[in-house]
């Protein structure tokens, strides 16, 4: 497809499908060098479609059509029209059986969409529009059908044959071939279709649901990897129990299968009863996977399982509604994560990720609403906005209507829509109806792109003993509290923003929250209140306050906004030490650090030395002193905001000044607190063998933060410490943390550790990914040269998304190296994107997103970036995927 045929699809153009497909019968023959797919579709006119009879149109991509028949009669040349992507039948009967036979070539399908080969097996990926690469079909999520699938293959090379649903027979068919039939009792959209034919090992288990039904669980992995499956099975069982307990949702399946595959574009896929996972979110063993990997596995396994209700039982009417299933399911997996681990630390990490990914997206050329208005390539809209901001929007509904009403809203949503393909409006309507809360204005969050700015100011009146809080909002970053009103435009109607507030007293105690006009009962006894900001500007007066409070705003990050409030450094230190809301304790530390780093970056960029106050070191020292109370929290509090997040706050980004400023502060802390860091490191050592528990993981996180600070000293002692940890660790968390610290330091230990790591792990694909990414993330000046060299290394493979993400995407996220002043990073990545696009447009387009913020940099860098982008944009045969991303970046 070229740019002329790539069309923009608009949400407003939705019309119901003219035909429905009641049932699908597929026969899939795996032959040497080809796969033959025979399909029988039972179609009928959609009673809900437009009155005038439209033709029957099916989608296809890369199909070689062998035969077509309606009700058993082969189609003549005049009966249909066929292009490379559509099959049109002009005057079909109102009900018909359409039989098609096609040949497809999964061995040469490097896009990893549709049916494709990975190593020695065959796997499918149909979301969003991959099913059309398997057979002719009206490929849209509002057509739900019952499926029967029979697979035929060589028994020795493809012994495992799987599809959605329940086994319905299998056997040998002579000459070394066998077959297996599967029947899915649930009607589903075709994007949830899956099949697998491969050689795999399996770990089986069982789950008994709350009503006593037994579900057979199975995790399939590449032969030899069974010892890395236990955690995924455990996560699945915990997720199943959690969904029963928290949402009353029981598993509806007899068989729940997870298949891990090494070549996969995304994280995992929720195909009905047959999830297909990137190996990265299944395989874990103490010596190969880090604590972060273990926690990600929990979350992704849970996420895909939760989709069985939020996504599969109730699905999306069209792809503009993607956040209906993704935002809601991310919210659900976040809540699961919070219940499995520390709620506060989980929230902190999510907000850190939101600021690093979604805020820049919302401020850049790919900004789009949670429910987009249009797209060229839907695969480009599996974004942080749809997923993570979508989850924030669901969380805000919960905050506004309360936990119990939210649960009632979920119940009502399923009561109304089970078995349907619906819209975000339907979800919000269920929440509004169940709670009695009017969410009309709230829905603006679905329609308006951009991160709102929230300005707050407070005033304490000693005489009246009142504290007046003024809140105002705007989508414009340049507005200030004073001129926000002037910048209001009819286009920017205000959001409904839940602002969770607490007031801190002089000793850190929570003060009463009584609001004028409410009577004193309403606020007494509560330590946090959720204010509803629904206008551009509103005032809230808190009464009966004996002294001036320090206000704690947006507790637990109650809304995805950029909050501006001029706390003094002392007030931030007070909040960091005392706020009862752990998120805001962390947040206060982040604010303090951001202030210092941004000021230092400004100083450094004009040749002035950076200034580091002792007060910051004192705050860090206090954190270290109390670290044992909650090591995981201390680790987060000691971690400075990342460069990409900080860059968003600069008008013109100077990436090297920013980099030097941030690392300068790290080094200053290390110089001042070397002993305390070492003490903390030593006292949190674990003698016990590795356990992936939250407590043990928290101690490791804390120690490894200490180690990374000590690494800033570039001292022989710090290097020896890291090397000792690298060599003696019994787990990947500690081994990799030591390697990551050494990788930032130009020393002999670095070379030795990198070499021995590869030597030891070159057969474990996922560990090799870590080896690639730790080098691509290095701040050392020769990183680009190293990355270039690694392209030629046997460990790298441009066809494997995990390798591409590990090496190239990590490099694109290496702020100081990717944005090198001479443009070398830009030209390198653009060239690689062009190469990759010929193999895998989806992954190439994801990689192209690293250019999103190019306009925030200085003139010479902008010139280099635009030159690299223009060159990429002009490549012959560029995919619509990459064209859409680069086109928007250049707009």
Q: CA 253 → CA 164, 168, 206, 259, distances in Å? A: 10, 15, 12, 16
Please state, in angstroms and rounded to a whole number, the distance separating the CA atoms of residues 59 and 524.
62
307 or 827: CB nearest ligand PHE: 307
Number of shown-chain residues binding Zn ion (CB under 5 A): 2
Helix 859-873 vs helix 880-890: crossing angle, to nearest 10: 150
CB of 166 to ligand PHE, least distance (A): 23
Residue 637 interaction partner, one of Zn ion, ligand PHE, none, beta carbon < 5-8 Å per kind: none
Residues in Cβ contact with 606 at an 8 Å cutoff, skipping those fewer than 6 apart? none
CB of 891 to ligand PHE, least distance (A): 26
Please state, in angstroms and rounded to a whole number, the distance separating the CA atoms of residues 783 and 780.
6
CB 162 within 8 Å of CB 240: no
Secondary structure letter of residue 254 according to DSSP: S
Residue 864 interaction partner, one of ligand PHE, Zn ion, none, beta carbon < 5-8 Å per kind: none
Helix (H, G, I), strand (E, B) or coil at 310: strand
326 or 643: CB nearest Zn ion: 326
329 or 605: CB nearest Zn ion: 329
329 or 399: CB nearest Zn ion: 329
CB of 718 to Zn ion, least distance (A): 41
Stretch that binds ligand PHE, among 44-52, 78-86, 260-268, 345-353 (CB under 6 A): 260-268
Residue 269 interaction partner, one of Zn ion, ligand PHE, none, beta carbon < 5-8 Å per kind: ligand PHE
* Residue 304 is among the residues annotated as catalytic for this protein: yes
Chain positions 316 to 335 lying near ligand PHE, rule: CB under 6 A, are: 326
CB of 267 to ligand PHE, least distance (A): 6
CB of 451 to ligand PHE, least distance (A): 22
Residue 581 interaction partner, one of ligand PHE, Zn ion, none, beta carbon < 5-8 Å per kind: none
Residue 268 interaction partner, one of ligand PHE, Zn ion, none, beta carbon < 5-8 Å per kind: ligand PHE
Residues in Cβ contact with 757 at an 8 Å cutoff, skipping those fewer than 6 apart? 726, 735, 739, 767, 771
List 43, 70, 195, 269, residue binding ligand PHE (CB under 6 A): 269
Chain positions 310 to 369 lying near Zn ion, rule: CB under 5 A, are: 326, 329
Q: What is the distance, to the nearest Å, from the Cα of residue 35 to the centroid of all Cα atoms in its chain?
A: 33
Please state, in angstroms and rounded to a whole number, the distance separating the CA atoms of residues 271 and 149.
14
Ramachandran angles phi, psi of 636, nearest 5°: -65, -40
The Cβ of residue 306 has, within 10 Å, a number of other Cβ atoms equal to 27
Number of shown-chain residues binding ligand PHE (CB under 6 A): 13
List 59, 222, 263, 270, residue binding ligand PHE (CB under 6 A): 270
Which of 250, 254, 248, 240 lies closest to 305, judged by CA?
240
| Side-chain half-sphere CA neighbours of 780 within 13 A | 20
Stretch that binds ligand PHE, among 244-252, 264-272, 444-452, 602-610 (CB under 6 A): 264-272
Residue 350 interaction partner, one of Zn ion, ligand PHE, none, beta carbon < 5-8 Å per kind: none
Chain positions 532 to 591 lying near ligand PHE, rule: CB under 6 A, are: none
Kindly report the three-state secondary structure assignment for every residue of 824-891: HHHHHHHHHHHHHHCCCHHHHHHHHHHHCCHHHECHHHHHHHHHHHHHHHCCCCCCHHHHHHHHHHHC
Stretch that binds ligand PHE, among 3-11, 19-27, 265-273, 641-649 (CB under 6 A): 265-273
Q: Which residues are registered as beta bridge partners of 23?
A: 42, 146
Q: Among all chains, which residue has been given the structure tokens 């081994």? A: 735
Residue 268, interface with ligand PHE (CB under 6 A)?
yes
Q: Among all chains, which residue has been given the structure tokens 């062998």? A: 66
Please state, in angstroms and rounded to a whole number, the distance separating the CA atoms of residues 483 and 477.
11
Q: What is the distance, to the nearest Å, from the Cα of residue 197 to the centroid of all Cα atoms in its chain?
A: 28
Residue 318 interaction partner, one of Zn ion, ligand PHE, none, beta carbon < 5-8 Å per kind: none
CB of 16 to ligand PHE, least distance (A): 24
CB of 282 to ligand PHE, least distance (A): 14
270 or 291: CB nearest ligand PHE: 270
Chain positions 364 to 383 lying near ligand PHE, rule: CB under 6 A, are: 382
Please state, in angstroms and rounded to a whole number, the distance separating the CA atoms of residues 245 and 234.
17
Catalytic residue among 222, 304, 350, 636: 304
Stretch that binds ligand PHE, among 266-274, 340-348, 583-591, 617-625 (CB under 6 A): 266-274
Residue 842 interaction partner, one of ligand PHE, Zn ion, none, beta carbon < 5-8 Å per kind: none
Please state, in angstroms and rounded to a whole number, the distance separating the CA atoms of residues 46 and 583.
51
Helix (H, G, I), strand (E, B) or coil at 495: coil
163 or 637: CB nearest ligand PHE: 163
Chain positions 559 to 598 lying near Zn ion, rule: CB under 5 A, are: none
Q: CA 398 → CA 132, 345, 431, distances in Å? A: 38, 20, 9
List 21, 180, 253, 266, residue binding ligand PHE (CB under 6 A): 266
Residue 127 interaction partner, one of Zn ion, ligand PHE, none, beta carbon < 5-8 Å per kind: ligand PHE
CB of 386 to Zn ion, least distance (A): 10
Helix (H, G, I), strand (E, B) or coil at 120: coil
385 or 744: CB nearest ligand PHE: 385
Chain positions 501 to 530 lying near ligand PHE, rule: CB under 6 A, are: none
Which of 429, 432, 474 lies closest to 451, judged by CA?
474
Please state, in angstroms and rounded to a whole number, the distance separating the CA atoms of residues 837 and 829.
12
Q: Which residue is nearest to ligand PHE (CB)?
A: 266
Burial classification of residue 608, based on how many CB atoms lie within 10 Å of its CB (0-12 exposed, 13-18 middle, 19 or more buried): exposed
Secondary structure letter of residue 486 according to DSSP: G
Window 109-128: contact mask with ligand PHE (x via CB under 6 A): ----------------x-xx
265 or 741: CB nearest ligand PHE: 265
303 or 849: CB nearest ligand PHE: 303
Q: What is the distance, to the nearest Å, from the Cα of residue 247 to the centroid of all Cα atoms in its chain?
A: 23
304 or 426: CB nearest ligand PHE: 304
Chain positions 298 to 317 lying near ligand PHE, rule: CB under 6 A, are: 303-304, 307
Stretch that binds ligand PHE, among 268-276, 473-481, 551-559, 716-724 (CB under 6 A): 268-276
Helix (H, G, I), strand (E, B) or coil at 542: strand
CB of 265 to Zn ion, least distance (A): 13
Q: Which residues are registered as beta bridge partners of 684?
A: none
Please state, in angstroms and rounded to a whole number, the distance separating the CA atoms of residues 639 and 636.
5
303 or 574: CB nearest ligand PHE: 303
Chain positions 807 to 826 lying near ligand PHE, rule: CB under 6 A, are: none
265 or 308: CB nearest ligand PHE: 265
CB of 394 to ligand PHE, least distance (A): 15
CB of 354 to ligand PHE, least distance (A): 16
The Cβ of residue 248 has, within 10 Å, a number of other Cβ atoms equal to 12
CB of 382 to ligand PHE, least distance (A): 5
271 or 813: CB nearest ligand PHE: 271
CB of 688 to Zn ion, least distance (A): 36
CB 273 within 8 Å of CB 256: yes
Helix 783-791 vs helix 765-776: crossing angle, to nearest 10: 150
Which amino acids are annotated catalytic?
304
Residues that bind ligand PHE (CB under 6 A): 125, 127-128, 265-266, 268-270, 303-304, 307, 326, 382
Residues that bind Zn ion (CB under 5 A): 326, 329
């Amino acid at each position: 497809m070229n740019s002329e045929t790539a069309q923009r699809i608009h949400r407003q153009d939705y019309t119901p499908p003219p035909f429905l497909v009641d049932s699908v019968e597929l026969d899939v023959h795996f032959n040497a060098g080809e796969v033959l797919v025979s399909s029988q579709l039972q179609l009928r006119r959609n009673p809900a479609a437009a009155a005038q009879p439209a033709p029957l149109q099916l989608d296809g991509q890369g199909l070689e059509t062998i035969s077509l028949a309606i009700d058993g009669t082969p189609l003549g040349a005049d009966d249909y029209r066929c292009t490379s992507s559509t099959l049109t039948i002009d005057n079909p009967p109102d009900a018909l059986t359409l039989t098609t036979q096609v040949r497809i070539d999964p061995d040469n399908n490097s896009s990893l969409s549709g049916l494709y080969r990975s190593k020695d097996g065959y796997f499918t990926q149909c979301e969003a529009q991959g099913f059309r690469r398997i057979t002719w079909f009206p490929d849209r999520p509002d057509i739900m059908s019952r499926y029967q699938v029979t697979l035929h293959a060589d028994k020795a090379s493809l012994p495992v044959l799987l599809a959605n649903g329940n086994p319905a027979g299998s056997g040998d068919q002579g000459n070394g071939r066998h077959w297996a039939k599967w029947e899915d009792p649930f009607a589903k959209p075709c994007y949830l279709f899956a099949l697998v034919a491969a050689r795999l090992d399996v770990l089986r288990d069982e789950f008994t649901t709350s009503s006593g039904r037994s579900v057979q669980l199975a995790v399939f992995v590449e032969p030899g990897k069974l010892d890395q499956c236990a955690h995924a099975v455990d996560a699945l069982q915990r997720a199943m129990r959690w969904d029963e307990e928290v949402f009353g949702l029981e598993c509806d399946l007899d068989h729940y299968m997870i298949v891990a595959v090494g070549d996969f574009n995304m994280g995992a896929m929720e195909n009905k009863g047959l999830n297909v996972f990137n190996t990265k979110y299944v395989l874990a063993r103490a010596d190969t996977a880090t604590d972060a990997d273990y926690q990600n596995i929990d979350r992704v396994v849970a996420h895909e399982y939760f989709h069985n209700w939020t996504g599969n039982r109730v699905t999306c009417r069209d792809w503009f509604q993607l956040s209906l299933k993704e935002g809601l399911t991310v919210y659900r997996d976040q809540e699961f994560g919070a219940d499995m681990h520390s709620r506060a630390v989980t929230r902190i990490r999510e907000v850190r990720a939101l600021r690093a990914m979604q805020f820049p997206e919302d401020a850049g050329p790919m900004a789009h609403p949670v429910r987009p208005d249009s797209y060229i390539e839907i695969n480009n809209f599996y974004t942080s906005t749809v997923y993570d901001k979508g989850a924030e929007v669901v969380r805000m509904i919960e905050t506004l209507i309360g936990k119990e009403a939210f649960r009632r809203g979920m119940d009502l949503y399923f009561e109304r829509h089970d078995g349907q393909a619906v819209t975000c409006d339907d979800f919000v309507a269920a929440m509004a109806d169940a709670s009695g809360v009017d969410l009309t204005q709230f829905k603006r969050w679905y329609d308006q792109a951009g991160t709102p700015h929230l300005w707050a100011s407070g005033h304490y009146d000693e005489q009246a003993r009142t504290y007046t809080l003024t809140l105002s909002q705007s989508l414009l970053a340049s507005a200030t509290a004073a001129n926000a009103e002037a910048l209001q435009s009819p286009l920017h109607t205000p959001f409904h923003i839940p602002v969770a507030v607490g007031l801190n007293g002089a000793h850190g105690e929570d003060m009463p929250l009584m609001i004028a006009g409410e009577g004193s009962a309403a606020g007494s006894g509560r330590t946090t209140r959720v204010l509803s900001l629904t206008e551009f500007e509103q005032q809230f007066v808190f009464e009966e306050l004996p002294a001036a409070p320090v206000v704690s705003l947006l507790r637990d990050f109650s809304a995805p906004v950029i909050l501006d409030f001029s706390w003094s450094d002392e007030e931030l230190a007070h909040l960091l030490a005392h706020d009862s809301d752990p998120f805001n304790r962390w947040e206060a530390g982040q604010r303090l650090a951001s202030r210092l780093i941004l000021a230092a970056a400004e100083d450094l960029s004009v040749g002035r030395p950076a200034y580091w106050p002792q007060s910051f070191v004192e705050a860090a020292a206090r954190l270290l002193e109390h670290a044992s109370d909650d090591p995981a929290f201390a680790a987060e509090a000691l971690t400075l905001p990342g460069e990409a997040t900080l860059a968003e706050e600069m008008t013109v980004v100077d990436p090297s000044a920013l980099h030097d400023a941030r690392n300068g502060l790290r080094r200053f802390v290390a110089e001042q607190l070397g002993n305390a860091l070492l003490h903390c490191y030593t006292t949190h050592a674990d003698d016990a063998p590795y356990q992936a528990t939250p407590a043990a993981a928290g101690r490791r996180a804390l120690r490894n933060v200490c180690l990374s600070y000590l690494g800033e000293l570039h001292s022989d002692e710090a290097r020896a410490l890291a090397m000792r940890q690298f060599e003696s660790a019994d787990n990947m968390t500690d081994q990799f943390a030591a390697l990551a610290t050494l990788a930032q330091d130009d020393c002999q230990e670095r070379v030795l550790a990198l070499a021995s790591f590869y030597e030891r792990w070159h057969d474990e694909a996922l560990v090799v990914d870590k080896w690639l990414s730790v080098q691509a993330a290095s701040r050392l000046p020769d990183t680009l040269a190293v990355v270039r060299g690694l392209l030629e290394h046997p460990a790298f493979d441009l066809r494997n998304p995990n390798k591409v993400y590990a090496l190239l995407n990590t490099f694109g996220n290496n702020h100081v190296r990717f944005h090198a002043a001479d443009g070398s990073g830009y030209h390198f990545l653009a060239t690689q994107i062009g190469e990759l696009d010929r193999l895998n447009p989806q992954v190439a387009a994801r990689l192209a997103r690293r250019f999103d913020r190019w306009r925030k940099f200085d003139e010479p860098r902008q010139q280099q970036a635009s030159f690299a982008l223009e060159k990429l944009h002009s490549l012959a045969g560029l995919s619509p995927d990459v064209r859409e991303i680069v086109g928007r970046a250049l707009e």
